[in-house]
């Protein structure tokens, strides 16, 4: 068991090192750092966001900007810290283009960029970690992990079986929550806390289930 755990951590680290020089899509042209993921690769709970923004690109760490601070707060309200989960994204390099003034502006990754990064890095990472529960933050992550055309407002907070982990659930992206004001902000934030708590409880339940295969 112990050897298995060490092996998982080593394999995720190897993938991370292998991803550093990745030039599989054009996102590499403007990136400062590859943002592979962080936290505990032995955790049964993996959180998948959309992709790095400016702060993440600068530091090489996922969710370190304002959205990350909010995510940390919500995790803490459910009794968890980053070291209790593994955090990664659909894409590992910042998707951004210069605006008219030359300032870099974030944009959603294209379906091609997402598919490339999922095949090369997200899928292999999840195959090593084998999470019991994946929490997708935002529709792009839910579209990639749960199903295409995911309807966040109707489908968030419920579990879906997935090939990437035993169960997946989606919640509002912290960056979306930060764009809300007043009561809308409070209720969006509360919904993320509730979805994290639902995911945490599902991990406890899933640990009691028999393994999917006998051998």
Nearest to 99 by CA among 108, 91, 110, 107: 107
Q: How far is the CB of 174 from ligand URA (least distance, A)?
A: 7
Q: How far is the CB of 59 from ligand URA (least distance, A)?
A: 10
- Residue closer to ligand URA by CB (options 152, 208) is 152
Distance CA 30, CA 37 (A): 19
Interface residues with ligand URA (CB under 6 A) are 49-53, 56, 62-63, 67, 89, 175
Q: Are 42 and 9 in contact (CB under 8 A)?
A: yes
Q: How far is the CB of 90 from ligand URA (least distance, A)?
A: 8
Residue closest to ligand URA (Cβ) = 49
- Residue closer to ligand URA by CB (options 16, 67) is 67
- Residue closer to ligand URA by CB (options 123, 206) is 123
Q: How far is the CB of 32 from ligand URA (least distance, A)?
A: 14
State the DSSP string of 98-120. Answer: E-TTS-EEE-PPPHHHHHHHIII
- Residue closer to ligand URA by CB (options 51, 165) is 51
Using only C-alpha atoms, the chain has a radius of gyration, in whole angstroms, of 17
Q: Please state, as a whole number, how many other Cβ atoms lie within 10 Å of the Cβ of residue 174.
A: 24
């Amino acid at each position: 068991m112990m050897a298995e755990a060490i092996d998982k951590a080593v394999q995720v680290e190897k993938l991370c090192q292998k991803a550093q020089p990745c030039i599989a899509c054009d996102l590499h042209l403007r990136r400062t750092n590859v943002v592979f993921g962080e936290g505990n690769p032995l955790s049964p709970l993996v959180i998948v966001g959309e992709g790095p923004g400016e702060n993440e690109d600068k530091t090489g760490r996922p969710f370190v900007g304002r959205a990350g601070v909010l995510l940390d707060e919500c995790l803490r309200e459910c009794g968890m810290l980053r070291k209790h989960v593994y955090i990664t994204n659909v894409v590992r390099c910042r998707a951004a283009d210069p605006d008219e003034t030359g300032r870099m502006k974030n944009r959603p990754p294209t379906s091609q960029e997402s598919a490339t990064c999922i095949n090369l890095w997200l899928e292999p990472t999840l195959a090593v970690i084998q999470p019991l529960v994946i929490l997708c933050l935002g529709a792009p992550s839910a579209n990639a992990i749960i199903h295409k055309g995911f309807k966040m407002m109707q489908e968030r907070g419920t579990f879906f079986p997935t090939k990437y982990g035993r169960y997946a659930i989606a919640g509002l992206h912290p960056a979306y929550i930060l764009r809300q004001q007043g009561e809308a902000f409070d209720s969006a934030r509360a919904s993320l806390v509730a979805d994290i708590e639902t995911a945490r409880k599902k991990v406890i339940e899933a640990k009691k289930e028999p393994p999917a295969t006998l051998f």
